[in-house]
Structure 1
């Protein structure tokens, strides 16, 4: 039997279209996908039209060509983002179109490429796309991210040379983790969202002053802004349409006060940053800023990342995930932030989501900065969760309550 089957691909496509971006009648859809995902994309496009989408466009990528570009193009070309590339995505967002990103990363794609070239190219693209990104981080439009296996990614995950078996095994893991293997994946996702909403609402009612992290890997205090907003599960676009930004998702998250982070953190899973692996790293924070960084692998890449702009050395997100999440229970490192971040409590350096403070989507960058919400051209998650992690919420009166205890939710449910 061919694996995955047509039925499985169709169910996954329906989940991405109906629950991920939740395409609306007459709405345009932009799909960003690698060429290896062609079969799945065909199902997504068919499902999008069945849901009433109009003007479905696919933007293909090819990792072989991407690598050749980094190897051979002059830096001046890598740093130049043509206006037509910006206009295409920006005009789509301005017209209210939805965006589905299909990720299939090769964790070793840019291994051996000069870290400075990668950093400068990424910085140029991030700066050029700032207006477009505001539609994403402010939930002005529906957007979602899903993943499909490729041979190189699957072989890395399972540490094997048997590509066919690795791809099949990774498909099985993905279908299980995103609930495609359940009789009604959409209903299963609705139930899952409700669980995350309950936790989100509890934390929002608490309005903790700050969080304390303690484990073998983390000794950190994180101040929270006044009127911060915890989010998790589904989101709601400006149009009122609900959507699920990340599939999978197991987190509830909010913005820290970027000025009030102190202590040290070590990663518990590798960070795959645009085809470069960063691992065995330790960050020291003082008054919010990263003042020291060490890494066993990819240290130069990480240092370039922290130099992207002024906000890159500060935190933009704190996210809580139980150690018993389905992704964690798989006992796999996916080398894919979409998956690894949902196996583990994590933090993000760089930009915060304005929606993580009350009325933040209506504020200017300057207004957000005044209340402690970080702004940057980057947003990179890194994993710090473990089975021995305890996270306390501390109230303005000094009361300390466990939120995560020994890796698991400790709040009343």
Structure 2
């Protein structure tokens, strides 16, 4: 009776409903654990970021030196800095795997449209937060990356130049820019945390999808202890993977030029953003026109947001969609190519490869997704083997 009275308290009731007795499909695999891993990464970034902010100085004359002070003089500062810098990469690795899992198993389909759209918004906020955070060390790549990316806003008709001036706080990337970015970098993670809570609430409204893509309302178990232990295994594996980079290869995922203080008078031979931006950067620079590149980036996120609404498939999981499965792996290969192209010089043949890869990316979302479902339905209706119980003749949930 005492336990029941405690559970009925508001805060404990929420924890019990969403983390303990939450009904979970019994056939979830380890790929479903990347959602909780993303939450863990966010907590690591917020915690390490708060302690780093205690020693960081947001001034163009002192920012680079303050980072070196953290690394050399602050007790445990090197660990905080390496955890925060590599934690951003770990966060994106986890989120990208989480996104591709959703694409593979069709978790974006009705009735979970809002879950997917909130996830895309969180991804956009993550990219923005990581970009302005990369500027804070005030190294060569920080300075010139900020200069190049913020100047893209000038391509917007009429208001573009005013937006750039507002972002810079003047007529060039300078101290006002650094202060703006520092303030936003401190604020945005908490906005991401709030959006993540809404994301989880939207997910729990209809429940999780499952590898079969079927209605699993009659085959669910409590989240604790079954999936708590399964997630814990993933957390331990992630901690080992993360630790290898922090302790043995802390600068492997960064660019060496960012250990050179920012110099407005010396442009780097090749400006390369962090690896998790490269796929977007490759699409951006595949279009020679600045405004066209900005519109292409906008179209990337519009395509992602529109995905649940242009999807026509009646079957969710790629396990029962052999044609879609091949197209999915085509998308994975295309994104890997975009990441590779993003770090290459802007010259042939990399320009042509980047343009072709960008076209494939948009064709996948704007052409393949709307028509593949109709083509599969055509196979069901007109293929004799399908009418007699073939591979495409799989019925999955339309609503939760």
TM over 0.5, yes or no?
Answer: no
User: As a proportion of its length, which structure holds more strand?
Assistant: 1
In the superposition, the TM-score normalised over structure 2's length comes to 0.24
User: As a proportion of its length, which structure holds more helix?
Assistant: 2
